[in-house]
Copies of this chain bind each other. A is one copy, B any other.
């Protein structure tokens, strides 16, 4: 067993798609944000939904029990809902065990480890299925080498947390592929990992190995291959800047896209700390990225304008573009074409 565990530790996380999306008894879309994100970004990976009585959320997918979902092709039950506190309630246990008995892997981003659900480890062993806790990196990582590697890398960075770095990376990878480019989304957070089917929950890595984990996430590739890497945190964040710096150094980005919410004045949940200006953010990201890639540059600004009315959204995008001389877009509202152009040719 110990040897098996050590062997597993050396393997990157790889989720088995497609998914049966488990919604528990979610009463609103905010609670089921993960499931909606997966349905929107990888609809081809979504076979069905499984809801408990009381649920008022509908993904527009067939309602199937685990065995029927397995028969329809599903390979994993994915917990697509996050109740307050991030714990797995007792009311889910029977469904999770039923899924394991139907031959589905279980995929979770909850704080509760799947191994802590009574009876689930036994069901997993009995059926030879995997329990994937995407919040806990299972893989062992090496110290970063700092050595340049072939292939191109784009990293989304931000003036703050929780303002669209994952969404922007997904939208850029999609726009680049639509042009026929060889572009791949690389996930660093749990929802991103569930969408991609693989990745590293970078904020859960021991700090000595963060840059090394980032290196392993976007390995050497063909010269014209683009890894589009999901950013995390912010260099200016009083708690999480170490995550961001390790990710920037290890990713060795050729290009960064700066993500920003123009309505924020202070760091989210740190209301006594002002947000950096876009100038300061661009200067700092370029400065530190050049530690490991002297050619690093910022090629565009992604604005999350969802808090503004329609007229203001367009105005802020145009004003920001004029002021900074960089392509500026809101990925859920406007075209990414100018930014992709700028990514491809400085």
Contact = CB atoms under 8 A, between A and B. Distances in A.
Which of A205, A241, A249, A272: most chain B CB closer than 10 A? A241
Interface of A: 143-147, 202-208, 210-212, 235-236, 238-243, 245-246, 249-250, 267, 270, 272-273, 284, 287-288, 291-292
A272 B239 contact: no
A207 B200 CA distance: 13
A242 B238 contact: no
Contacts of A202: 207
A204 B250 CA distance: 18
Contacts of A250: 238
Nearest to A137: B206
Give the number of copies in the complex: 2
A161 to B, nearest CB: 11
A210 B273 contact: no
A310 B272 CA distance: 51
29 contacts: A143-B239, A144-B239, A145-B238, A145-B239, A146-B270, A146-B272, A146-B273, A203-B206, A204-B207, A204-B208, A205-B206, A205-B207, A206-B206, A207-B207, A207-B210, A208-B240, A211-B238, A211-B240, A211-B241, A212-B239, A235-B288, A238-B249, A241-B245, A241-B246, A241-B249, A241-B291, A242-B246, A242-B249, A245-B245
Which of A206, A250, A267: most chain B CB closer than 10 A? A206
A60 B202 CA distance: 47
A242 B210 contact: yes
Contact of A243 (B239, B242, B267): B242
Contacts of A212: 239
